[in-house]
Amino acid sequence: MKNILHAVTGYQEAKKQQQELFKSGTDFSEQKGEVANTIASLHPKRLQLMVSDVIENTLTTKTLRLKAQEGQLPPFQAGQYINLFVTINGVCTARPYAISSAPQSRDFYDLTIKRVEGGFVSNFLLDDVKVDDKLQSTGPMGTFYYNPLYHGNDLVFIAGGSGIAPARSMILNMVKNTLLHKQNLQRMHLIYTSSYEDDVIFKDELMQLEQTHDFLKITWIVTRPNESYSGRTGRLTFADLKALLGEDRQQLQSKMYYVCGTTGFHDHCGELLSKLNVKARRVRIECNGPPKNPQNIPGWPEQVKASDVIEVKVKGQGSFKARVDEPLLNSMERNGYSAENACRSGECSLCRVKILSGSVFNPAEAKLRSTDEAYGWCHSCVAFPTSDIEILL
Ligand code: FES
């Protein structure tokens, strides 16, 4: 062992430093504290933020520019998100939003928020949040980002609506890197689907970037166009994708694909890519919340109707009523209970809750470990109670 350690780069220096510290009576606890502080500043549990600007993007979309109330914001990778905590009419809840600004812009995070019909948090952020308001969030999280070691340099990003947010961050990152290295390190084909022509988020900026940077190619698609619209229209089809990306198997396999949009959009694009024989490991999908209509997902118990109401007992604490088509975490929050959470899409497992009795429906998004499943744990952000249940918090 001694010989092996001596061969490690820096071992001798560290040993010498240790001996010096022993002489002065130091036991490394200060160093441990420094390490812990450095880690906490890079991966803080909570950020105290302030809205420094509200930018109108389209009729349905705004970007909130958030700065740190004090000190610096932690760094992030283009494509990551923060989970924003809010209290609306007494309900404490949170939603994850991808950062749409460049990681090099270290003074602020941009969150691009689109109005959703009946959206509890998004509509609150759009209608009630103003400059100088204070907000709290997690630090940057998530694995939906470009990895230069494994992803290669030929990227395809398929974005639907506000799914453009992480794509914009990646593109701005590529612009800055191109400037820094004086050459393109990657190229990206952005396939960008929007519902309406006047609702294309970042349209002017992206058009300008496409004109000025040859690493970027954009295919614009409008699914519900005006009669006068002359561009590509309708839902993205297999034929579209083949025409846009070609059929050369080797070329298709060498690309890295990122998909971000609604849950239905992910499923659709995932199917198209698999039909195109793209391997699953070449596709990164950013999950975006729980499924909207769980009763339509295969495996949902037939006898349970979406409008059914069940009782949730919280062991030793109380109980409340909830509809079966509402994610457990949402109904818990509405009734004053909580669980730590970040992705709200079944991925991070922070919101685990133990089901003591009764049944819940876990859609495919709930990436449950088999042991969790075996011992009755669920990811409450994407779990739907399908009978009266008792849970342990
Ligand atoms: S909040 Fe991440 S799995 Fe539920």
Query: Cα(26)–Cα(21) distance, rounded to whole angstroms?
Result: 5
Q: Mark whether 70 and 125 lie in a shared domain.
A: yes
Pocket test for ligand 1, best of 330, 350, 367 (most atoms within 8 A of CB): 350
**Nearest atom, ligand 1, residue 382 CA:** 4
CA of 329 to the centre of ligand 1 (A): 9
Pocket test for ligand 1, best of 81, 330, 348, 372 (most atoms within 8 A of CB): 348
For 273, residues 6+ apart whose C-beta sits below 8 A from its C-beta are: 241, 257, 259, 283
At 84, list the tokens: 């924003």
Q: Mark whether 132 and 160 lie in a shared domain.
A: no
Q: Mark whether 282 and 306 lie in a shared domain.
A: no
Which tens digits make up the pLDDT trace of 171-185? 999 999 998 888 888
Q: Which helix (H) or strand (E) holds 156?
A: strand 154-160
Query: Cα(335)–Cα(317) distance, rounded to whole angstroms?
Result: 12
Q: Mark whether 252 and 336 lie in a shared domain.
A: no
Query: Cα(124)–Cα(87) distance, rounded to whole angstroms?
Result: 10
Q: Mark whether 123 and 209 lie in a shared domain.
A: no
pLDDT (0 to 100) of residue 264: 86
CA of 223 to the centre of ligand 1 (A): 31
Q: Which of 137, 57, 130 shows the shortest CA–CA distance to 100?
A: 57
Cβ pair 134, 49 in contact under 8 A: yes
Query: Cα(204)–Cα(304) distance, rounded to whole angstroms?
Result: 47
Note whether residue 193 is domain-resident.
yes
Side chain identity, residue 237 = T
Instruction: Point out the domain boundary residue: 137, 169, 199.
Output: 137
Note whether residue 147 is domain-resident.
no
Q: Which helix (H) or strand (E) holds 313?
A: strand 309-314
Question: Phi/psi at 134 (nearest 5 deg)?
Answer: -105, 140
Instruction: Point out the domain boundary residue: 104, 137, 170.
Output: 137
Q: Mark whether 166 and 281 lie in a shared domain.
A: yes
Q: Mark whether 164 and 199 lie in a shared domain.
A: yes
> Measured on CA atoms in the order 262, 265, 267, 273, is the torsion positive or negative?
negative
Q: pLDDT 10s per residue in the chain (393 long)?
A: 556 777 777 788 878 877 777 776 666 666 666 776 776 666 778 999 999 999 999 999 999 999 999 999 999 999 999 999 999 999 999 999 999 999 999 999 999 999 988 889 999 999 999 999 999 999 999 999 999 889 999 999 999 999 999 999 999 999 999 988 888 889 999 999 999 999 999 999 999 999 999 999 999 999 999 989 999 999 999 999 999 999 888 999 999 999 999 888 988 999 999 999 999 999 999 877 788 889 999 999 999 999 999 999 999 999 999 999 999 999 999 999 999 999 999 989 999 999 999 999 998 878 888 888 889 999 999 999 999 999 999
Query: Cα(237)–Cα(121) distance, rounded to whole angstroms?
Result: 32
CA of 115 to the centre of ligand 1 (A): 23
CA of 362 to the centre of ligand 1 (A): 12
CA of 139 to the centre of ligand 1 (A): 15
pLDDT (0 to 100) of residue 16: 81
The CATH number linked to 124 is 2.40.30.10
Q: Mark whether 190 and 216 lie in a shared domain.
A: yes
At 55, list the tokens: 């930018």
Distances (CA, A) of 16 to 1, 21, 267, 284, 289: 18, 9, 57, 46, 52
Instruction: Point out the domain boundary residue: 227, 257, 286.
Output: 286
Q: Which of 190, 117, 192 shows the shortest CA–CA distance to 160?
A: 192
Distances (CA, A) of 376 to 300, 362, 369, 382: 18, 11, 11, 14
Q: Which of 164, 167, 165, 175 shows the shortest CA–CA distance to 146?
A: 167
Note whether residue 228 is domain-resident.
yes
- Annotate 27-41 with b (16+ C-beta within 10 A) or e (fewer): eeeeeeeeeeeeeee
Helix extents (H) in 8-149: 11-23, 29-42, 120-128
Strands (DSSP E) along 195-241, which ranges? 216-222, 232-233
Which tens digits make up the pLDDT trace of 104-120? 999 999 999 999 888 89
The parent domain of residue 73 ranges over 47-137
Note whether residue 69 is domain-resident.
yes
User: Which residues does a 6 A CB cutoff place in the pocket of ligand 1?
Assistant: 341-344, 346-351, 379, 381
Q: Mark whether 201 and 275 lie in a shared domain.
A: yes
Query: Cα(116)–Cα(99) distance, rounded to whole angstroms?
Result: 18
Q: Which residues are paired to 186 by β-bridges?
A: none
Note whether residue 14 is domain-resident.
no
If one counts the domains in the chain, the total is 3
pTM of the model: 0.86
**Nearest atom, ligand 1, residue 83 CA:** 1
pLDDT (0 to 100) of residue 28: 61
pLDDT (0 to 100) of residue 384: 97
CA of 65 to the centre of ligand 1 (A): 25
pLDDT (0 to 100) of residue 2: 56
Q: Mark whether 115 and 160 lie in a shared domain.
A: no
pLDDT (0 to 100) of residue 364: 82
Q: Mark whether 205 and 131 lie in a shared domain.
A: no
Note whether residue 315 is domain-resident.
yes
What is the gyration radius of the CA atoms in the chain, in angstroms?
Answer: 24
The CATH number linked to 233 is 3.40.50.80
Burial class (CB in 10 A: 0-12, 13-18, 19+), 170: buried
Note whether residue 349 is domain-resident.
yes
CA of 347 to the centre of ligand 1 (A): 5
**Nearest atom, ligand 1, residue 351 CA:** 4
Helix (H, G, I), strand (E, B) or coil at 305: coil
Note whether residue 343 is domain-resident.
yes
Q: Mark whether 277 and 313 lie in a shared domain.
A: no
Cβ pair 176, 168 in contact under 8 A: no
Query: Cα(230)–Cα(249) distance, rounded to whole angstroms?
Result: 31
The CATH number linked to 339 is 3.10.20.30
